[in-house]
Amino acid sequence: MIKLLIVDDSALMRRQLATLFEGEGDFQIRQARNGKEALTENREFQPDVITLDINMPEMDGLTALSMIMVDRPVAVVMVSSLTEKGALATFEALNLGAVDYVAKPSGTISLSIGDIKDELLAKVRTAARARIKVARPNIGGLAKRLRDERGESKLRPPCLPRGVIQDGIVIIGVSTGGPRTLEDILPFLPNNFPWPVLVAQHMPAAFTRPFAERLNGLCALAVVEVAHPMPLEPGTIYIGKGGADILLAQRAGQLTVFAKPENREFLWHPSVELMGRSALEHFNAAQIIAVMLTGMGYDGADAFTEIKQGGGRTIAESQETAVVFGMPAELIERGGANQVLRAEKIATQINLWAGR
């Protein structure tokens, strides 16, 4: 049995969520109306997982989460609204130690709760097995301070002449636990990093632009959401738009990165597998660095293994730091990882391979 604490100020939402989980038969459930009650229930009930709303009276979700991670750390899945404000609060929650998040349905709760049923069940069950990362210092902020002390400005390498293929490309696949893990890696790529970086992070469409903007404030490189076709330039980090897939194409003699509507043949989006295949269509495998980070499932494992077999360089995040060791484990089991590294060592290896 999974002991689950549902925290939400809406009685209807609590009842709907409780009914959803009780119908599965493997959950023991308690409820709390706000962050203050959640703290008490966390100590007394000792749940395996907490679903936590953000906007609540008396004590909001972020305040409660910060105290939970000090008092009794536990796997937390945030239930957040699909708005820019909700996205920013969710990223802060992930930084504080939340494992994952689910977009709260809009409109009539009783009619829309079914829209998130499968996602919510999967994420709560995954969270029950996940590695908990307690609140940590702002690593991205630390990297920025170090750059400021060294006098490094946020300048990108010049765009190469039209039609010229860059020396290489970095592609990164990531899912559950990814936003926080990416903040441990991307800020440590220097402002003279010579290659473009493509990131397929499983994330809702409303979240990817705020996420790219957040990373842009932490990184030496420019970080953009791929919401429309744009030239592939060295020294830029491209975040695949949620609700779409991130791909490459030659357009007017220029290698271009663009968002394409989800390919329903693939389970997760932006699809890591499709991004890897697209990279192989436009680069020799030896020109590719492929990094597989935390996440459930096997997205990208086949394409990344093909990259390694073709002479490319691949990294799988180690079980020691992965929130969920699903995607990296699949790559390792296929023999597709050149190196298995803790998250905090990955940027150093990327810089070495790219000559920086």
Model pLDDT for residues 240-291, shown as the tens digit of each residue: 999 999 999 999 889 999 999 999 899 999 999 999 999 999 999 999 999 9
Q: How do strand 2-7 and strand 27-32 relate by DSSP bridges? A: parallel
Asked if 189 contacts 215 with a C-beta cutoff of 8 angstroms, the reply is no
3-state secondary structure of 90: helix
Question: Among residues 304, 352, 299, 303, which one has the least CA distance to residue 324?
Answer: 299
Give the C-alpha separation, 55 to 326, whole Å: 31
User: Catalytic: which of 9, 80, 100, 175?
Assistant: 175
Nearest to 31 by CA among 47, 192, 228, 23: 47
Known catalytic residue at 106 = no
- Whether the CB-CB separation of 64 and 39 falls below 8 Å is answered with yes
| DSSP state at residue 239 | E
Domain 140-353 in CATH 3.40.50.180: yes
Per-residue pLDDT tens listing for the chain (356 residues): 999 999 999 999 999 999 999 999 999 999 999 999 999 999 999 999 999 999 999 999 999 999 999 999 999 999 877 666 778 888 999 999 999 999 876 655 555 678 889 999 999 999 999 998 776 555 555 565 555 655 665 654 444 444 334 589 999 999 999 999 999 999 999 999 999 999 999 998 889 999 999 999 999 999 999 999 999 999 999 999 999 999 999 998 899 999 999 998 999 999 999 999 999 999 999 999 999 999 999 999 999 999 999 999 999 999 999 999 999 999 999 999 999 999 999 999 999 999 86
| 299 catalytic residue (yes or no) | yes
CATH 3.40.50.180 placement within the chain: 140-353
Q: Which of 53, 81, 202, 271 is catalytic?
A: 202
Instruction: Give start-end residues of each CATH 3.40.50.2300 domain in the chain.
Output: 2-129
- Local structure of 275: helix, strand or coil: helix
| The pLDDT value given to residue 349 | 98
pLDDT tens-digit series, residues 68-78: 999 999 999 99
The predicted model scores a pTM of: 0.87
CATH architecture, range 2-129:
3-Layer(aba) Sandwich (3.40)
**Among 8, 53, 100, 299, the one annotated catalytic:** 299
- Looking at residue 114, its pLDDT comes to 80
